[in-house]
A and B are shown apart, each in its own frame.
Chain A
Amino acid sequence: MSSAPLVSCVISVFNGERYLAEAVDSALSQTYSPVEVIVVDDGSTDRTAEIAAEYGTRVRYIYQEHRGAAATKNMALRSIEGELVAFLDADDLWHPDKLTLQVAAVRERPEIDLCFTNYRNFWVPEMSDEEKKYRGHPLMSPEGAWSICTLLTRRSRFTRYGAFDEELRGYENITWMLEAARAGAVIEVLPETLMYRRIHSSNQSRERALDDEFFAVVKAWLAYRRGMT
Chain B
Amino acid sequence: MDPDTRFQPTEGRTAARVIDGEAILIDLVDGNYYSIADVGSIIWQMIEARWTLGDIGLAVSERFGVGQDRVDADIKVFVDALLDEQLIEISRETSARADSPLDGGSNPPYAKPEFTAYRDIAKLLALDPPTPGGAQEFLWRDPDGNDTNGSTP
A-chain residues with CB within 8 Å of residue B20 when the two chains form the complex: 219
Interface residue stretch chosen among B1-9, B26-34, B68-76, B92-100: B26-34
* Interchain CB contact (< 8 A) of A209 among B33, B35, B128, B140: B128
Q: How far is the CA of A221 from the CA of B33 in the complex (A)?
A: 10
* Interchain CB contact (< 8 A) of B17 among A140, A143, A208, A215: A215
A210 touching B129 in the complex, CB below 8 Å, given contacts A134-B140, A218-B24, A222-B33:
no
Q: How far is the CA of A136 from the CA of B22 in the complex (A)?
A: 29
Q: Is the CB of A221 within 8 A of B125?
A: yes
* Interchain CB contact (< 8 A) of A147 among B126, B131, B143: B126
Q: Is the CB of B22 within 8 A of A219?
A: yes
Query: Is there a chain A Cβ closer than 8 Å to B84's Cβ?
Result: no
Q: How far is the CA of A131 from the CA of B129 in the complex (A)?
A: 10
Per-position 1/0 for B97-122, Cβ under 8 A of A: 00000000000000000001010011
Q: Is the CB of A210 within 8 A of B130?
A: yes
B129 to chain A, nearest CB (A): 6
A54 to chain B, nearest CB (A): 30
| Number of residue pairs A-B, CB distance < 8 angstroms | 109
Q: Is the CB of A221 within 8 A of B131?
A: no
Interface SS majority for chain A: helix
Q: How far is the CA of A214 from the CA of B30 in the complex (A)?
A: 18
Query: Is there a chain B Cβ closer than 8 Å to A144's Cβ?
Result: yes
B-chain residues with CB within 8 Å of residue A211 when the two chains form the complex: 135
Instruction: Other than A144-B124, A209-B131, give 19 A-B pairs with Cβ distance below 8 A.
Output: A132-B146, A133-B129, A133-B148, A134-B140, A138-B122, A139-B122, A142-B122, A142-B124, A145-B124, A145-B126, A146-B124, A207-B131, A208-B128, A218-B125, A219-B24, A221-B121, A222-B24, A222-B33, A225-B121
Enumerate chain A interface residues (CB-CB to B < 8 A).
130, 132-140, 142-147, 174, 199, 203, 205-212, 214-219, 221-222, 225-226
Q: List 26 A-B contacts (CB under 8 A).
A: A133-B148, A134-B129, A134-B138, A136-B142, A136-B143, A137-B31, A137-B140, A139-B122, A140-B127, A144-B124, A145-B124, A206-B131, A207-B131, A207-B135, A208-B128, A210-B26, A210-B127, A210-B130, A210-B136, A211-B135, A212-B17, A214-B127, A218-B26, A218-B121, A219-B19, A221-B124
